[in-house]
């Protein structure tokens, strides 16, 4: 029996390593993170904690005399809990006796294991899109930055929805912690969000004002200058503006690498370019990884079947990580005998979480109003 247990354990571990490699290769998010060495293994600690820079040291004019030296605290701490998933299975001792012999038992388990592995890998592939704040037992995916359907006042003329949630324990509302911003644009016409009452993320202001605020871009606004409120009509202008807003104040380090959108939105974008008889530039990095994609002004675009309808995400891969607590995405435990139930127990498991350095480097494009 010990021989059977050891063989099953070893065989399963090898199978899971291949499953993890396939998961990384077949999903654009994981492939990009892996390429940039943003998947970290053997992580530990009571929580997933990091520092976020929310401001810069003060610059003072100098006209001679003594300089006033003061300590500065320009960082705030974010923290998330570790999350996990398991797939359990059981084989009663009576069944083992009926299928006596190591090979017979291994064959029996081999019929069940692929379904366990598929269930875990399919679930894991969708975790990137989860709002871990509302679904507290699931990974803190990218929707944790945006709040799902929770956002502040947004009118049909607003190009931007108001961030209104918290991520990592810090508010995403612009100006909630500190700072001020210009208010020179006209509400309801050129100001991105009239209720917010500032030019943000256009204009200028203190770094503290929007240091933890994502860009929630309303593609259905009536003010994109096309006379339309559809994605097909506005997509090109929406993507161009979102790219500029995300880069504003951050420079190259804040630039969006990829717009990941639902298949419907991606097809509409391609149709829009085709109707213009435009030359569609292929996405070099996506093609190198085996995915289809195009470029708009240096930013790559593609689709993913798990992406929610009417939604696109602007992603900066250098500002996010996938932290895993084991040395692989998935691990197996068992078979282990349980005296109480007279059964052999099997378990597949994964523990970890996503971490986004700050929502400021990410955007969501959606029909907010």
For residue 351, is it within any domain? yes
> Which of 322, 316, 319 minimizes the C-alpha distance to 350?
322
- Cα gap 133→91, rounded to integer Å: 36
For residue 140, is it within any domain? yes
> By the 8 A CB rule, do 361 and 250 touch?
yes
Q: Is the previous residue joined to 335 through a cis bond, with omega within 30 degrees of 0?
A: yes
- Cα gap 271→183, rounded to integer Å: 37
In the prediction, which pLDDT does 158 show? Answer: 96
pLDDT block averages, 10 residues each, the chain of length 369: 68 83 93 96 96 76 76 82 92 78 65 80 92 93 94 94 96 93 89 95 92 97 97 98 88 87 97 83 94 95 96 97 96 86 89 96 97
- Cα gap 153→158, rounded to integer Å: 9
Q: How far is CA 357 from CA 79, 117, 198, 267, in A?
A: 11, 31, 25, 31
Q: Which DSSP string corresponds to 40-63? A: E-S--SSSEEEEEE---PPP----
Q: Report pTM.
A: 0.90
Tokens of 307: 């992406």
The SS3 assignment for 28 reads: helix
In the prediction, which pLDDT does 329 show? Answer: 93
Beta strand 39-40 with 320-324 is parallel
Centre a 10 Å sphere on the Cβ of residue 300 and count the other Cβ atoms it contains.
Answer: 24
For residue 270, is it within any domain? no
> Which of 221, 199, 252 minimizes the C-alpha distance to 365?
221
For residue 53, is it within any domain? no
For residue 156, is it within any domain? yes
For residue 312, is it within any domain? no
For residue 272, is it within any domain? no
Residues 6+ apart with CB under 8 A from 214: 145, 146, 163, 172, 359, 360, 362, 363, 364
> By the 8 A CB rule, do 357 and 319 touch?
yes
For residue 123, is it within any domain? yes
In the prediction, which pLDDT does 100 show? Answer: 67
Q: How far is CA 303 from CA 116, 263, 291, 296, in A?
A: 27, 5, 9, 14
In the prediction, which pLDDT does 361 show? Answer: 95
Q: Which DSSP string corresponds to 64-79? A: SS---------EEEEE
- Cα gap 88→124, rounded to integer Å: 16
Residues 6+ apart with CB under 8 A from 354: 127, 128, 139, 140, 141, 142, 144, 320, 321, 322, 323
In the prediction, which pLDDT does 60 show? Answer: 74
**Domain containing residue 212:** 1-46+78-224+317-362
> Which of 290, 283, 281, 230 minimizes the C-alpha distance to 259?
283
The SS3 assignment for 29 reads: helix
Greatest Cα pair distance, the chain, in angstroms, is 93
What is the sign, positive or negative, of the torsion defined by CA atoms of 230, 201, 171, 126? positive
Specify the number of domains making up the chain: 1
Helices and strands (H and E) in the chain: how many: 8, 17
> By the 8 A CB rule, do 247 and 255 touch?
yes
Radius of gyration of the chain (CA): 25
């Amino acid at each position: 029996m010990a021989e059977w247990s050891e063989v099953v354990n070893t065989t399963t571990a090898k199978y899971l390593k291949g499953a993890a490699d396939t998961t990384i290769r077949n999903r654009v998010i994981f492939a990009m993170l892996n390429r940039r060495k943003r998947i970290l293994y053997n992580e530990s600690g009571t929580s997933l904690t990091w520092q976020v820079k929310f401001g810069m040291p003060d610059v003072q004019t100098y006209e001679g005399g003594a300089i006033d030296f003061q300590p500065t605290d320009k960082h705030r701490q974010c923290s998330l809990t570790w999350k996990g998933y398991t797939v359990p299975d059981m084989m009663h001792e009576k069944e083992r006796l009926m299928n006596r012999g190591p090979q017979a038992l291994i064959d029996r388990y081999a019929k069940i294991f692929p379904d366990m592995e598929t269930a875990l890998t399919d679930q894991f592939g969708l975790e990137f899109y989860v709002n871990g704040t509302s679904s507290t037992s699931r990974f803190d995916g990218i929707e944790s930055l945006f709040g799902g359907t929770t956002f502040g006042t947004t009118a049909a003329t607003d190009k931007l929805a108001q961030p209104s949630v918290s991520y990592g324990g810090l508010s995403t509302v612009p100006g909630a912690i500190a700072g001020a911003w210009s208010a020179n644009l006209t509400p309801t016409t050129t100001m991105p969000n009239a209720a917010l009452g500032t030019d943000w993320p256009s204009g200028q202001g203190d770094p503290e004002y929007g240091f933890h605020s994502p860009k929630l871009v309303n593609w259905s606004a009536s003010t994109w200058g096309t006379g339309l409120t559809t994605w097909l009509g506005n997509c090109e202008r929406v993507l161009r503006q979102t790219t500029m807003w995300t880069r504003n104040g951050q420079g190259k380090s804040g630039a969006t690498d990829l717009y990941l959108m639902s298949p419907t939105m991606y097809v509409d974008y391609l149709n829009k370019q085709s109707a213009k008889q435009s030359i569609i530039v292929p996405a070099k990095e996506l093609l190198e990884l085996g995915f289809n994609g195009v470029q708009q002004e240096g930013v790559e675009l593609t689709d993913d079947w798990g992406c929610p309808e009417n939604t696109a995400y602007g992603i900066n891969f250098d500002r996010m990580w996938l932290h895993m607590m084991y040395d692989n995405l998935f691990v197996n435990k068992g078979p282990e005998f349980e005296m109480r139930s007279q059964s052999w127990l099997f378990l597949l498991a994964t523990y970890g979480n996503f971490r986004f350095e700050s929502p400021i480097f990410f955007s969501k494009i959606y029909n907010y109003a």
